[in-house]
Structure 1
């Protein structure tokens, strides 16, 4: 390994980790998420919008674009419109226009339109962040994680479809890093991750990897020093938009669940953690509650769990739980959970020597 840039793109923040194993140093930053930044930009403008770019995350961004379309023209390219919905008819039903790249680019030059370019990765912004680290903007590897709901076939729930894509890989290789994809391996249905990889191609790097943010968080949390030398661990990451819990048993992913953070309480999470370990969660039941789903490969039993470790910017939800929850900090920083997971996934993928994140 040498110079690595890890980027975790969340709903609230973008977390950046630079690691150089030759110089034995790492630097990190937590900044406003791309979706939040663009949402605020839209809110600060008036009138018509002409939008190019690609799919990026963030339901607040979709909401503010739909709201603007009620009073002004919002014209998007097909690629950018995927941010609002993968079904173009759903986008246009909200009043947003979809047009070809040439027409939208022409509108962007008109004085009565505000021009926007959607992308989760902005080279200029990243250059500024890395400049603050005091290191060159050149990397041997860039790895990025984000939440991608996937483009499901017509009539199929995107949450169910995404879940089945993931579990198919995990059945073959039951480790979180199985969901790390090199830029030429990304499933076609993962449109947002595909878009991120294309954006990353404009960075100065030799290799590009992408990963689901939930799996990156699970792996990163399991790297916390409190989990060292333990066989059966239960990790929980409560992020701005999504909450994931997982059982790691002898290094393998035994079970996991995923919810929207706004839909869970501390009491509900406490129940979910017990039920996850005892094998009482079913995918269909979690979907019916509005969650993303659940998966069980092996039931370990709650009594076998040696530690419950929580990470994520909203982990305060679990502070009042009667369970003995340990507040984790992979590599000394709760906000680096996803980036540590990315780095560990890349390390495992490339077969490098084991690292300790202390």
Structure 2
């Protein structure tokens, strides 16, 4: 358990999801429950709404951001015969492969070309830092010392399945012996286009430390906040993806699937077999999931505690697994942000 000492850094932690952005301003001088917390619509939700409410042609500039709602709004605009133009980084919000973006009917231009178009402009970004800093100031907080952000990033390699590529990169980290801190990047690998976009955006506005992490690993870390028992099994049941992780002193295994493909019964079967080391990568991938890698399986009977988090965590309520709802800092919505804070304090302070 991390000791929340008063000489530690103030950290702004933002977990960016498809529906909400969950925000924690961690001030070590305060009791954890008294820290500033916000749950707001995610930037992809807000931008999708602005595009849908607008009329005429659309120009999108800025950074690569989370897709989902904003991509649906763009596609709806195209169906209505509206012209959609995007700069290259912005266009990777739709697809990392720009040829595929153009195939959708979207015009992809350079920043210089965008300047002369005279079209209504919308900015793609995962964070509104000016707004967050204003809120912090009005709440009596100054600028933080460190910003940590969680986003989901499949990674990209031309010609390769994003499902396969994402899980290959996760497996590489776990195979060499890793803790959750190893998934927190100051300098993300180039193939993580969205993570790199977040780092660029933050550094343009902020001179302190910055790091990014995949949302799933932030949630796993947050679920384990203050938990000393090992091994534990953590299940993050998100809107899009579900991750199951075995955590001892190191990460001992990960399984990731699409939530919509998992009934309660199917998920429980996967979890039990995963803990016993009886799920293969091929099985999960062929079931339209991302994959599975098990380094060491302690067996379900040896798991000390099981935690459930994520917006669909209730799927594991009142089951034979006896999963506990994760609520670090007394708030189920802060699992990701608290995970970011814990990992940043361990790795950088």
On the 8 A contact 2:236/2:242 being kept in 1, the answer is: yes
> Does 2:127 correspond to 1:125?
no
When the two structures are superposed, what TM-score results if normalisation uses the length of structure 1?
A: 0.90
For structure 2, the 5+ residue unaligned runs are 1-7
Q: Which of 64, 75, 80 in structure 2 is aligned with 1:66? A: 75
Q: Which of 85, 95, 103 in structure 2 is aligned with 1:93? A: 103
In the aligned structure 1, how far is the partner of 2:272 from the partner of 2:134? 44
For structure 1, the 5+ residue unaligned runs are 353-358
Identify the residue that residue 159 of structure 2 maps to in structure 1: 155
Structure 1 position 322, deviation (Å): 3.1
On the 8 A contact 1:139/1:205 being kept in 2, the answer is: no
Structure 1 position 132, deviation (Å): 4.8
Q: Which of 317, 326, 332 in structure 2 is aligned with 1:334? A: 332
Identify the residue that residue 179 of structure 2 maps to in structure 1: 175
In the aligned structure 2, how far is the partner of 1:44 from the partner of 1:262? 29
Identify the residue that residue 220 of structure 1 maps to in structure 2: 222
On the 8 A contact 1:29/1:129 being kept in 2, the answer is: no
In the aligned structure 2, how far is the partner of 1:320 from the partner of 1:180? 33
Identify the residue that residue 198 of structure 1 maps to in structure 2: 200
On the 8 A contact 1:193/1:210 being kept in 2, the answer is: yes
Q: Which of 258, 261, 279 in structure 1 is aligned with 2:259? A: 261
Aligned length: 339
Question: Could you give the per-residue CA deviations for residues 262-283 of structure 1, whole angstroms, max 9, x where no partner exists?
Answer: 2222122111211110112222
> Does 2:192 correspond to 1:186?
no
In the aligned structure 1, how far is the partner of 2:291 from the partner of 2:49? 31
In the aligned structure 2, how far is the partner of 1:3 from the partner of 1:203? 17
Identify the residue that residue 356 of structure 1 maps to in structure 2: none
Identify the residue that residue 28 of structure 2 maps to in structure 1: 21
Q: How does 1:296-335 map to 2 (within 5 A)?
A: 296-335=294-333
> Does 2:104 correspond to 1:102?
no
Deviates more, 1:287-296 or 1:141-150: 287-296
Q: Which of 271, 282, 289 in structure 1 is aligned with 2:280? A: 282
Structure 1 position 329, deviation (Å): 0.5
